[in-house]
Structure 1
Amino acid sequence: MDLYGPLCVGLDPHPGLLVAWGLTDDAAGLREFARRVLDAVGGRVAAIKPQSALFERHGSAGVAVLEEIVAAGREAGTLVIVDAKRGDIGSTMAAYADAYLRDGSPLAGDALTVSPFLGFGSLAPAIDTALATGRGLFVLALTSNPEGASVQHALTPPALHPPATQTPPAPTPPAPQSPSAGVSSLQAGSQEPIDRTRRAAQGRSVAGVIADAAGVLNAAELGARGGTLGSIGLVVGATIGDAAVRLGIDLAAVRGPLLAPGVGAQGAGPDELAAVFGSARRAVLASSSRAVLAAGPDVANLRAAARRAADDASAALR
């Protein structure tokens, strides 16, 4: 982020946007859309974030375009965050990790968005694979959509957690298998810190429990390898106002990157970014989609819009 500024450009090819750009709402139009955006911002911003569903809606041909974007981002030196918001349990979550985080997978970008709302522990296969392959996760925590607060701000009742005196199960030691089999790069594995956070979570908001678990995992990772930010980031909307403060969430303590959607067209500007993230602002990757894409289809206009957005984010987050 120091080289390109703290901006992530979302690649959200909604049908209406394709039409507005004079493109067909099919795989061919999707490919031309991706080509123009990558020509404009590839190698010029910190990251791009293709929204997986808007490629999947075109079937296998659309997924093929998503694979091309992942490869093109790598060639341009631009980080690719695949915005798929995957979240499941057991072997299904392991299969998602294999698809989006395994070395050699055509869908494996540099990071993946995931949903923790089947329980943070359900993310263990993705956490283990990300850590083993040097990739990252952005875990939904305080999202920019208004209805998210009804779940994310809710307090966790004591009945959801084991008694503090209960002895947690011993973590399964990593086995000499492929990353997709759930091998963690942390000596204790991912489940033990998750369990430890859960036992201390009584009365915390759901978002607070998620932030605490990410912080524990990042502290363990950084203790093993050093550095300033761990691999487990959070999605925290730039339009959430004082929610983190009200819920007692210390975003700086997460010690991971914070992906902030809502910049630009959704209403968040420099003042909102500074207010929401406070002392954690240096860890923020501001995400802007519509405010940049509205400047298209001309490549020069897209490039200029991305530059303005990056400059605004840099000024707010320095």
Structure 2
Amino acid sequence: METFGQRLHRAVSVRGPLCVGVDPHPQLLTRWGLPDDVDGLARFAATAVDALGDVAAVVKPQSAFFERFGAAGIGVLESTIRQFREAGALVLLDVKRGDIGSTVDAYAAAYLDPASPLAVDAVTANPYLGVGALAPMFDLAGRHGGGVFVVALTSNPEGRAVQHARLSDGRTVAQTVIDEISQLNVGAEPIGSFGLVVGATVGDTGHELSHVNGPMLAPGLGAQGGRPEDLRTVFGQALSAVLPSYSREVLNAGPDPSALRAAAEQTLVKCREALGVLI
């Protein structure tokens, strides 16, 4: 069985280091001339698949923007996931789930069991109930070739109180998350399947990332203020493992599919330059 890390490495090698966030928030639907309802959501998603499904290495639907329409919105999400995967893109579902016991078991089954209608290649997860509490996600991902991106460092000011708090050994809470994820990737080639989410706007935090041996999702680029050149400051020697993530920078070019595709291709050029990828 091919691991998520192996599939991601191949996808990035072929399509380039770019993750496009698929975030159908109300303002974007309006910008596209679509109604803020399930029909508008479905039309948005169909256009995104048509324009980006065979371009982006990874797409990252934000589950909340589909969930707000209830069961019908989840139906659109299921269809969108399936269509993106059929087009060859890896789907990273941004759900940031995190819980304990049977609840995290159920979250894992919902997103990482191939039998589920919501099955994706990878999910985001929140570790601040304890990284160990996410073990069912890691286990199921390992069994089925999936991936998990665990939130480590975020740019929102509220996050620092938790993420930068120090333990008795001097490490920050975020560094313990980073270190525990690195243990899951020991010996994995060419890269592990368990990654981190590190905001592109966090700056030089002094955290050590070079030993993770897993992918690092960098949201916050483009409209959220992050610049490609900031990636070197944030990630340092771990730059080669970074997966830059853009959303509005690309989606604002819609609804014309050719304009969306062109925006993604232009953004990819910026990513290649920032990461030193010449092909």
1:186-234: CA deviation from partner (whole Å, max 9, x where unpaired): xxxxxxxxxxxxxxxx321011000000011110xx3xxx412111100
1:24 aligns with 2:35: yes
- Which residue of structure 1 aligns with residue 7 of structure 2? none
Q: Quick check: 1:137–1:233 contact (8 Å CA) kept in 2?
A: yes
1:64-123 CA-to-partner distances (Å, cap 9, x unmatched) read 111111101110110000000000000000000000100121111100000001011110
Please give the per-residue CA displacement for 1:33-52, whole angstroms capped at 9, x wherever unaligned.
Answer: 01111111111111100000
Report if aligned partners of 1:269, 1:312 keep a CA contact under 8 Å in 2: no
Task: Work out whether 1:234 is the aligned partner of 2:196.
Answer: yes
The counterpart of 1:4, out of the listed 5, 8, 15, is 15
- Please provide the CA RMSD for this pair: 1.0
* Aligned counterparts of 2:40 and 2:157: Cα–Cα separation in 1: 32
Distance 1:144 1:296 in 2: 27
Contact 1:144-1:261 at 8 Å conserved across structures:
no
1:70 paired with 2:81, answer yes
Distance 1:67 1:131 in 2: 22
Specify the alignment match of 2:5 in structure 1.
none
* Matching of residue 264 in structure 1 with residue 222 in structure 2: yes
Deviation at residue 25 of structure 1 after TM alignment: 0.9
Corresponding residue of 2:183: 216
Q: Which amino acid aligns with 2:270?
A: D
Give the Cα separation in 1 of the matches to 2:164 and 2:14. 35
Flag the structure with larger Rg. Answer: 1
CA distance in 1, matches of 2:230, 2:175: 21
CA distance in 2, matches of 1:88, 1:19: 35
1:183 paired residue number: none
C-alpha contact (below 8 Å) 1:99/1:105 kept by paired residues = yes
Q: Distance in 2 between matches of 1:124 and 1:43?
A: 33
Q: Distance in 2 between matches of 1:242 and 1:250?
A: 10
Partner Cα separation in structure 2 for residue 126 and residue 108 of structure 1: 13
Residue type of the partner of 1:229? I
Deviations 1:142-164 (Å, cap 9, x if unpaired)?
Answer: 123232222111112x4xxxxxx
Distance in 2 between the 1:75 and 1:253 partners?
33
Where does residue 194 of structure 1 map in the other structure?
none
- Following the alignment from structure 2 to structure 1, what is the Cα–Cα distance between the partners of residues 132 and 183? 13
- The residue type equivalent to 2:199 in the other structure is G
Q: Cα deviation per residue 1:259-292 (whole Å; 9 max; x = unaligned)?
A: 0001111111221012211211111110001111
* Aligned equivalent of 1:206: 173
Alignment of 1:101-120 (within 5 A): 101-120=112-131
- Give me the whole-angstrom Cα distance separating, in 1, the residues matched to 2:203 and 2:14: 28
The alignment partner of 2:93 has SS state of strand
> How far apart, in 2, do the equivalents of 1:152 and 1:130 lie?
25
**Superposition map of 1:140-179 within 5 A:** 140-156=151-167, 158=168
Q: Does 1:34 align with 2:45?
A: yes
Residue segments in structure 1 that go unaligned for 5+ positions in a row: 159-201
Structure 2 matches for 1:292-311, cutoff 5 A? 292-311=250-269
Which amino acid in 2 is paired with 1:125?
P
Percent identical residues? 55
Distance 2:108 2:87 in 1: 24
Partner Cα distance (2:208, 2:32) in 1: 42
Counterpart check, 1:273 vs 2:231? yes
Contact 1:234 1:256 in 2 (8 A): yes
Q: Partners of 2:234 and 2:202 in 1: how far apart?
A: 7
Matched to 1:207, the amino acid is: A
Does 91-100 or 14-23 show the bigger shift? 14-23
| TM-score, with structure 1 as normaliser | 0.82
Q: 1:250 Cα shift?
A: 2.0
Q: State how far apart, in whole Å, the 2-side matches of 1:216 and 1:16 are.
A: 41
SS in 2 for 1:80: strand
Count of residue correspondences: 265
- Which stretches in structure 2 are left out of the alignment for 5+ residues? 1-11
TM-score normalised by structure 2 residue count: 0.93
1:50 aligns with 2:61: yes
1: CA distance, partners of 2:155 / 2:89: 25
